[in-house]
Amino acid sequence: MEISYWIFVFSILLFFLVSGSSSIDNFHQPFPIVEPDPGHTKLRLSREGLEAISRITTPISAVAVIGPYRSGKSFLLNQLLSLSCDEGFGVGHMRDTKTKGIWVWGTPLQVDIDGVRTSVFYLDTEGFESVGKSNVYDDRIFALATVMSSVLIYNLPETIREADISRLSFAVELAEEFYGRVKGQDIAFEPAKLLWLIQRDFLQGKSVKEMVDEALRHVPNSDGDKNIDQVNQIRDSLAVMGDNSTAFSLPQPHLMRTKLCDLKDDDLDPMYVKKRGQLKELVASIIRPKIVQGKYLNGKEFVSFLEQILDALNKGEIPSTGSLVEVFNKGILERCLKLYSERMGKLRLPMPEQSLQDAHGRSREEAMKAFEEQHFGRHHAKKSADQLDEEMKEVFKNVIMTNEYQSTRLCEALYTKCEDRMDQLQVLRLPTMAKFDAGLQQCNQSFEQECVGPSKANYEQRIMKMLGKSRSLFIKEYNQRLFNWLVAFSLVMVVIGRFIIKFILVEMAAWILFIFLETYTRMFWSAESLYYNPVWHFIVSAWETIVYSPILDLDRWAIPIACMAALGILYCRCYGRRKHGSQWLLPLYNHQKGGSNRPRSD
């Protein structure tokens, strides 16, 4: 009992899985793939037809029949598919309102085209000029059939009218945009092969090719009518498209046209049956798999392509080739913009403005060259190119702002570093003009070499003012600090010469320097005039030579040298007398009177 229960559950699940994978049991019937919206102006996709196409895994080709209302399109498709009216596309009064739009036969024909197994779908389109529709709707049907098909059969009764040629304007513009590219390069898609199919009662007289050639001849326009000029331009373009079009005539199958669905092949005109076979062979010979951007499309890819095209055709008030060009150029535009962004992203910012402008020019040229090599469309591609240029300008604006920000950061850091360096030089323990000038020069050179970008000019002015102000302040305090150092130095040397080394010449020299600085200068020179005196210049030169040189910087090493000297003197005072006695090489103070044997008195 339990086993039977689980079998039942499993059966139910399997049923739902199978039913959910496909809602269509019989594909041997026509399905709508595109339907009109409620306003009958734009198009929308139909799920049944898309499902019939999506299941195909092999490359797809489509044969579409277009033409005026009640011109025998559906009957012709049934004849090409060898189907009766009962099982094939609905004919005449048998078709109800749900067949509006574009229909597809659910079972494709399998053919080998140049060794490629191809599924060929046949499409039936709603006729032109029927009651209750706008011309824009007819244009969208025609445009969509032109884009999605590999073979476009233009079914015309009896003759070619001026309006029939005007309707080809979209197909011509499409071919002009997407044809004429360099051979061997990928194209967006190949426009359909155009087959002029003229059905008439009698085949005598002009051939169908002569009829087409005559219809495509220029119409005289001495009055300069714009409409005639436009149709003449279409004629010129159709003449250029000669390799992409062909013509075929087909006699009427029977005089009783309302009874065609009830007649067998034996009842039809033998000439019609013969020409129908020739038409099948002609269509089979010009069918090619649908190629989009260099690759064959399977069912799912064809549906995706159809969705893309329909969005483009529904975008504007009327269908335009420009909207299709924009769709196919969108991905190329994004790749070229990415290429430009990557090139600009590799720049080491900040950098000089002219160098940045040159880099922008090179990157833009490279991106535009890539777009020119890859883009689709000959006339309408300019809009995409302009859009690419505008987007590159926006990216460049961001790069300029980033460069300015990075330049400001770098120059501000260098300015702060120089400012700190100048503050350090202002408070040297042993003031020296040579060291200050060397630091100022090093700071200035470092700023000139490292500060780049648009902020450099502004910061150059700031740093020159700061350096000039720092140098003036240093010079002002330099002479006073040096004077104080020399006074202190003379007093220190007096103490050292008197009590430490007991060298009278050192003490005398120190006293002379002290007296000169404190007395003589105050008696004969003012404090300001001292600094312009040659004697002072000599003192300054001697001080600069002793305190700072490329080899020795006393400001850094003064304390270690003083400590070492103190240790040396201490060593000599403490241990040198024990080993060598009290004899000195220098003239020392001698307090003994009357010889060395004189007894010491208290």
pLDDT tier, 309 (very low <50, low <70, confident <90, very high otherwise): confident
Residue 194 contacts residue 179 (beta carbons within 8 Å): no
For 468, phi and psi rounded to 5 degrees? -65, -40
Residue 527: predicted pLDDT: 58
Residue 171 contacts residue 66 (beta carbons within 8 Å): no
Residue 360: predicted pLDDT: 94
| Cα gap 296→189, rounded to integer Å | 10
166 compared with 252, residue with greater pLDDT: 252
The continuous run of DSSP H or E covering 118 comes out as: strand 116-125
Residue 71 contacts residue 127 (beta carbons within 8 Å): yes
How many other C-beta atoms can be found within 10 angstroms of the C-beta atom of residue 217?
A: 10
For 40, phi and psi rounded to 5 degrees? 60, 40
Question: What are residue 111's DSSP bridge partners?
Answer: 118
| Cα gap 470→473, rounded to integer Å | 5
Residue 242: predicted pLDDT: 56
Q: What is the mean pLDDT of residues 138-162?
A: 82
Question: What are residue 247's DSSP bridge partners?
Answer: 196
Q: Identify the top-confidence range among 97-101, 351-355, 553-557.
A: 351-355
Residue 417: predicted pLDDT: 92
pLDDT tier, 9 (very low <50, low <70, confident <90, very high otherwise): very low
Using the predicted structure, report yes or no on whether residue 405 has a pLDDT greater than 90.
Answer: yes
pLDDT tier, 391 (very low <50, low <70, confident <90, very high otherwise): very high
Using the predicted structure, report yes or no on whether residue 19 has a pLDDT greater than 60.
Answer: no
* Out of 187-191, 347-351, 533-537, least confident range: 187-191
In this prediction the pTM is: 0.57
Residue 212: predicted pLDDT: 77
Using the predicted structure, report yes or no on whether residue 602 has a pLDDT greater than 60.
Answer: no
Q: Tokens for 415?
A: 């300015």
Q: What is the pLDDT of the chain when averaged over all its residues?
A: 77
| Cα gap 548→555, rounded to integer Å | 8
Q: Tokens for 417?
A: 């570093």
Residue type, 254: H
Cα separation values, 122 from 89, 280, 445, 595, 601, Å: 10, 12, 79, 143, 143
Using the predicted structure, report yes or no on whether residue 399 has a pLDDT greater than 90.
Answer: yes
Using the predicted structure, report yes or no on whether residue 583 has a pLDDT greater than 60.
Answer: no
Q: Please, what is the end-to-end C-alpha distance for the chain in angstroms?
A: 138
| Cα gap 370→17, rounded to integer Å | 48
pLDDT tens by residue, 271-301 = 888 888 999 999 999 998 988 777 888 999 9
Using the predicted structure, report yes or no on whether residue 524 has a pLDDT greater than 70.
Answer: no
Using the predicted structure, report yes or no on whether residue 395 has a pLDDT greater than 80.
Answer: yes
pLDDT tens by residue, 462-511 = 999 999 898 888 877 777 777 787 788 888 888 877 877 777 888 888 88
| Cα gap 420→436, rounded to integer Å | 13
Q: Are strands 116-125 and 60-66 parallel, antiparallel or unpaired?
A: parallel
Q: What is the mean pLDDT of residues 41-57?
A: 87
* Out of 357-366, 466-475, 593-602, least confident range: 593-602
Measured N-to-C along each axis, helices 456-495 and 381-426 cross at an angle, to the nearest 10 degrees, of 10
Using the predicted structure, report yes or no on whether residue 404 has a pLDDT greater than 80.
Answer: yes
Share of the chain above pLDDT 90, in %: 20
Using the predicted structure, report yes or no on whether residue 390 has a pLDDT greater than 90.
Answer: yes
Share of the chain above pLDDT 70, in %: 72
| Cα gap 399→65, rounded to integer Å | 53
How many other C-beta atoms can be found within 10 angstroms of the C-beta atom of residue 476?
A: 10
Which residues are CB-contacts of 479 (< 8 A; sequence separation ≥ 6)?
530, 531
pLDDT tier, 158 (very low <50, low <70, confident <90, very high otherwise): confident
Q: What is the mean pLDDT of residues 121-130?
A: 84
Residue 413: predicted pLDDT: 93
Residue 208: predicted pLDDT: 78
Helix segments in 427-553, DSSP class H: 433-450, 456-495, 504-515, 521-524, 527-530, 534-547
pLDDT tier, 1 (very low <50, low <70, confident <90, very high otherwise): very low
pLDDT tier, 73 (very low <50, low <70, confident <90, very high otherwise): confident
| Cα gap 123→192, rounded to integer Å | 13
Say if residue 88 is exposed, middle or buried (CB neighbours under 10 Å; 0-12, 13-18, 19+). buried
pLDDT tens by residue, 446-463 = 999 999 999 999 999 999
Residue type, 141: I
247 compared with 164, residue with greater pLDDT: 247
Using the predicted structure, report yes or no on whether residue 216 has a pLDDT greater than 50.
Answer: yes
| Cα gap 559→592, rounded to integer Å | 37
Which residues are CB-contacts of 296 (< 8 A; sequence separation ≥ 6)?
59, 60, 116, 289, 290
CATH topology of domain 6-315: Rossmann fold (3.40.50)
Residue 8: predicted pLDDT: 47
For 124, phi and psi rounded to 5 degrees? -110, 130
Which residues are CB-contacts of 107 (< 8 A; sequence separation ≥ 6)?
27, 28
pLDDT tier, 222 (very low <50, low <70, confident <90, very high otherwise): confident
Domain ranges of the chain: 6-315, 328-403, 409-478, 486-580
Q: What is the mean pLDDT of residues 198-208?
A: 68
